[in-house]
Amino acid sequence: MESKNRGKLYVIIIVIILLVILGIAGWILFGSSSGVETLPTQAQTTSTSESKSDSPTKSKVSKVKNPIDFKSLDKRNEEIVAWIKIPDTQVDYPVLQSMTADDYYLHRDLNGNSSYAGSIYMEICNSDDFTDRVTVLYGHNMINGSMFANLHKFEDKSFFDSKKHRYFYVYLPDRKLTYEVVSAYVYDDRHIMNSFNFAEDEVFKTYLDSIQNPRSLTKNVRRLDRKLTTDDKILTLSTCLNSGDGRYLLQGVLVKDEFTG
């Protein structure tokens, strides 16, 4: 009897030992290898997830450099609303807008001091964010080539047609606006913003037609491959003629609106 019990005990011990061995082997084969694979997989998933979530955000906040220190300018004069640059000209100036009188900066500099050359300015009727269908900027035609005198360079068709002179730029505190030069020509002395109700499509179309097909027979250059529609936004740069009555206009159409940082 004792021999039989001892035999059963041996069997039980052997079974227990075998179960322990199988358990250890199973952990080594499956548990350990599973853990090794899981860590890289989780890291890869996190990386992919972050990449997917970052991409749209980066594209939305993608900004171009703003070379203008508007914070410093604002301390000098809160009525500085923009900055205009035209390549290969002296036009590299702040744009001002008085809230008290349209012609306030006709003969005042950016600090508000008396100056015959005045400043580049827009009138009260225009929005300072350049979102109007037509925005007009004014500047003197100075003998020394300053202010808007160099607009007359566009009378030269070779200058007008050059790829380097196809675009000019307006900087706002948070944006860069790129305008394509459409035409340049002699115009009469009508006040543009008072003469046209640009809220009416037909009136705006008439003005766009005058931009694309100037009536002036002198100093008239235009870009024949550029068609304008009522969805466009126009920036009109206006200065005096070298002689006689009337104005000289450079017309640009907005082609790019970018955030700056």
> Which residues are paired to 259 by β-bridges?
175
> Distance (Å, rounded) from C-alpha 13 to C-alpha 89?
99
Helix (H) or strand (E) holding 96: strand 92-96
For the chain, give percent helix, strand, coil, nearest 5.
40, 25, 35
Domain borders along the chain are 1-62, 70-259
Burial profile 62-72: b = 16 or more Cβ within 10 angstroms, e = fewer: eeeebebebee
- The pLDDT assigned to 219 comes to 79
CB 177 within 8 A of CB 168: no
Determine the 3-state secondary structure of 257 from DSSP.
Answer: strand
Residue 139: both structure tokens together: 């500047």
- The pLDDT assigned to 57 comes to 31
> Distance (Å, rounded) from C-alpha 211 to C-alpha 182?
8
State the DSSP code for 158: H
CB 136 within 8 A of CB 193: yes
> Distance (Å, rounded) from C-alpha 185 to C-alpha 204?
18
Determine the 3-state secondary structure of 247 from DSSP.
Answer: strand
- Tens place of pLDDT per residue across the chain (261 aa): 444 445 555 555 665 665 555 554 444 443 433 333 332 322 233 333 333 333 333 334 569 999 999 999 999 999 999 999 999 999 999 999 999 999 999 999 999 999 999 999 999 999 999 999 999 999 999 999 999 999 999 999 999 999 999 999 999 999 999 999 999 999 999 999 999 999 999 999 999 999 999 987 667 899 988 899 999 999 999 999 988 789 999 999 999 999 998
> Distance (Å, rounded) from C-alpha 122 to C-alpha 119?
10
Helix (H) or strand (E) holding 135: strand 134-138
- The pLDDT assigned to 59 comes to 34
Residue 70: both structure tokens together: 């508007």
Among the four given CATH numbers 2.40.260.10, 2.40.110.10, 3.30.70.360, 2.60.40.1290, the one describing domain 70-259 = 2.40.260.10
The phi, psi pair for 244, rounded to 5°, reads 85, 175
**How far is the CA of 66 from the CAs of 61, 71, 153, 217, 245, in angstroms?**
14, 12, 26, 39, 38
Residues 6+ apart with CB under 8 A from 6: none
Closest CA to 237 of 198, 192, 172: 192
Closest CA to 241 of 188, 176, 178: 188
Based on its alpha-carbon atoms, the radius of gyration of the chain, rounded to whole angstroms, reads 36
- The pLDDT assigned to 226 comes to 87
> Distance (Å, rounded) from C-alpha 63 to C-alpha 119?
29
**How far is the CA of 259 from the CAs of 94, 174, 177, 256, in angstroms?**
19, 6, 9, 10
